[in-house]
Amino acid sequence: MHSSPPIRGDLTPELLQTSQWTDEQVSAAGIPIHDIPFVTVGGGIGSFVTVDYLRIYGVPTDRMRVLSNIDTPWETYEYLTRVSQIPRPERIRSDSSSRPDNLWGFPSYALEEAWREKRLSHLWQIATEPILNDYWTPRAGTVFRGLEREAKRISYWDMLVKGQVRMVRKRVGGGYFTILTPPDGLSETRRVAFRSQYVHLAVGYPGLKFLPDLQDFRERHRDYTRVVNAYERHEHVYEALKTRPGVVMVRGGGIVASRVLQRLMDDREEFGLQTQIVHIFRTFVTGSHGPNVFMRRKGGHGWAYQGFNYPKSVWGGQLKARMRKLEGEDRKKLYQDIGGTNTPKRRRWQQQMAKGRRENWYHAFQGMVDKVEPGPDGRLISHVRSSNGRIQQYVSDFIIDCTGLEADIAEHRVLADLLQHGGAERNPLGRLEVERHFEVKGTASGDGALYASGAATLGGYFPGVDTFLGLQIAAQEIADDLARRGFCKKMGPFRSTSQWFKWAFNKAV
């Protein structure tokens, strides 16, 4: 059956232009209103860990809704990891106790895998990381399996409402309206509204950002197969290399570049391919770097090395405590000192790259790409300018852009609306400014509160926001703030222990 979207119950020009809505305005537009005290927008990992906390704190499912365009909380994460070369059996970046399916982080993933596989080597590695061994990190599949179990346990799907969220507006008299566009055919009206006292936004990445020279090439030559982004499906590149030898240019110095290199090198080994790899770093790190002996990060061969995307102590140690006190420029400065693209120094990757350098099929350079052009033989020519001003041309069959998901927050419609109508401000890094408890500054509405977590809030008092553990730290702050406001009861040691036993025995909360 084909259904065209209903025209009844749509946003009116009046609603679009008014920053604060009355109940009457929304009703007059014919938009049905659902009352629910708490909604979370996104439905990815950030929404999941937040409702997980609240369910465990004792909030029943009928007081919360997850508004999302995906069916399972890991769908977007699984898509992004799969295309960037982390299929289910491969290991992700974050550590053993970053468990989005277990707010205690105990037992850690390493204990779980050791138990399931009856292998002590996992425990040896976790006890000796990162000194004698690489950091132990879980398989992607382990993470998804755990999330599925926990989602069932907390009745996640009873709270899920599918659709695209269009905006969140303040309500006259307190609280918010969240406007959702349901999937075609599922609603009598074009929009529905959720009237709630609390809103949480966890919308993930505002969008993909291509390197400008690559975007330019793609648009001018309508070529989306030879110039690809690592966050898009690009399996055809690896398949083509199996049929004939080729040169691949990899751009970027983060973990995704490491992953893509690993795939190219694994395939080379497994299928006896002749792939040549040209790797361009914008910033080429040659060794330990940093302002002083107390702030020096390891690096070499182009890369800056770090286990996780920030130094480990941002999730609970000294750097977390320090950043929490900083404002404005001071905060920005510390972000600069600890930031920068980096990748873990994993033994396997080091061996593969060393082999490639030795056998002369892996070549890394510093450079900024001025432009990319098609060559006479149909290949790609990159004009690369190095820091000493020299311009070199590199010919390749493919270019894989591994540089990022760093689009501006205003590219996300809901966030743009929040900046324009909701009173939200930008932090020193240009993202959403949130309080220490993750309430978005400037958005309070009567006795209501609006929270945000995830990548959109990077630059706040807590740096590790865009990670499982960071999302859980945010969830805890939010749950505790909601407890202060009387929405739920704060969880102390006894309730926590008894809830943990329920988790351990997979009993409903």
Interacting residues toward another protein by CB under 8 A: 97, 103-108, 111, 126-132, 290, 293-298, 306-307, 311-313, 315-321, 473, 476, 491, 493-494, 496-497, 500
**139 touches 90 (CB < 8 A):** yes
- Cα four-point dihedral sign 496, 39, 98, 141: positive
Phi-psi group of 263: left, alpha or beta (phi > 0 → left; psi -120 to 50 → alpha; rest → beta) = alpha
Q: Which of 26, 64, 80, 338 binds ligand FAD (CB under 6 A)?
A: 80
Residue 189 or 453: which CB sits closer to ligand FAD?
Answer: 453
Distance between CA atoms of residues 60 and 418, nearest Å: 28
| Using rule CB under 6 A, residue 43 touches ligand FAD | yes
203 binds ligand FAD (CB under 6 A): yes
List the one residue from 40, 68, 352, 499 that touches ligand FAD (CB under 6 A).
Answer: 68
DSSP H/E element including 357? helix 347-358
| Among the listed residues 146, 182, 204, 253, the single contact to ligand FAD using CB under 6 A | 204
Residue 472 lies near ligand FAD (rule: CB under 6 A): no
Cβ(165)–Cβ(414) below 8 Å: yes
The minimum distance between CB 43 and ligand FAD, in angstroms, equals: 6
| Shortest distance in whole angstroms from residue 147 CB to ligand FAD | 11
Q: Indicate the helix (H) or strand (E) that contains 396.
A: strand 391-396
Return all residues near 497 (Cβ < 8 A) that are at least 6 apart: none
What residue 467 binds from another protein, ligand FAD, none (CB within 5 to 8 A, per partner kind)? Answer: ligand FAD
Q: How many C-beta atoms surround the C-beta of residue 15 within 10 A?
A: 20
Q: How long a stretch of residues is the chain?
A: 509
Residue closer to ligand FAD by CB (options 204, 252) is 204
Q: How far is CA 176 from the centre of its chain?
A: 26
- Site membership for ligand FAD, residue 254 (CB under 6 A): no
Q: Give the x-and-dash track for 420-459 against ligand FAD (CB under 6 A).
A: ----------------------------------xx----
User: How many helices (H) and strands (E) in the chain?
Assistant: 17, 20
Give all strands (DSSP E) within 414-503, no chain letters.
Answer: 449-452
For residues 333 and 327, what is the distance between their CA atoms, to the nearest angstrom? 10
DSSP per residue, 39-81: EEEE-SHHHHHHHHHHHHHT--GGGEEEEES-SSTTHHHHHHH
The rounded distance, in Å, linking the Cα atoms of 474 and 200 is: 11
Does 46 participate in binding ligand FAD (rule CB under 6 A)?
yes
For another protein, the closer CB: 54 or 70: 54
What residue ranges in 202-328 does DSSP mark as E strands? 227-229, 247-251, 276-281, 299-300, 303-304
Applying CB under 6 A, which part among 269-277, 350-358, 432-440, 461-469 lies near ligand FAD? 461-469
Closer residue to ligand FAD, CB minimum distance, 403 or 467: 467
Tokens of 505: 């025995």
* Nearer of residues 192 and 273 to ligand FAD, judged by Cβ: 192
Selection from another protein, ligand FAD, none that 27 binds (CB < 5 to 8 A by kind) is none
Does residue number 247 form part of the binding site for ligand FAD (CB under 6 A)? no
Say which residues have a Cβ less than 8 Å from residue 315's Cβ, sequence separation at least 6.
Answer: 464, 467, 469, 470, 473
Q: How far is the CB of 499 from ligand FAD (least distance, A)?
A: 23
In terms of CB distance, is 376 or 492 closer to another protein?
Answer: 492
Q: Does 168 bind ligand FAD (CB under 6 A)?
A: no
Q: Which does 295 bind (CB under 5 to 8 A by kind): ligand FAD, another protein, none?
A: another protein
The Cα 326–Cα 291 span in angstroms is 19
Q: Please, which residue, 321 or 395, has the CB nearer to another protein? A: 321
93 in contact with ligand FAD (CB under 6 A)? yes
Dihedrals phi, psi of 104, to nearest 5 degrees: -85, -20
CB 240, CB 410: distance < 8 Å: no
* Residue 82 contact partner, candidates ligand FAD, another protein, none, CB within 5 to 8 A by sort of partner: none
92 binds ligand FAD (CB under 6 A): yes
Which position among 29, 36, 103, 165 is part of the footprint of ligand FAD (CB under 6 A)? 165
Q: Do 92 and 140 contact (CB within 8 A), yes or no? A: yes
**Shortest distance (Å) from residue 105 CB to another protein:** 6
Residue 145 or 298 with smaller CB distance to another protein: 298
Among 25, 94, 189, 341, binds ligand FAD (CB under 6 A): 94
403 forms part of the interface with ligand FAD (CB under 6 A): no
Among 37, 44, 182, 367, contact with ligand FAD (rule: CB under 6 A): 44
Q: Which is nearer to ligand FAD, 305 or 365 (CB)?
A: 305
Residue 174 has a CB neighbour count (10 Å cut-off) of 12
Q: Total residues contacting ligand FAD (rule CB under 6 A)?
A: 33
Rounded (5°) CA angle 85-86-90: 130
The verdict on 42 binding ligand FAD (CB under 6 A) reads yes
Give residues in contact with ligand FAD (CB under 6 A): 41-47, 67-70, 76-77, 80-81, 84, 92-94, 98, 164-165, 202-204, 405, 414, 454-455, 466-468, 471
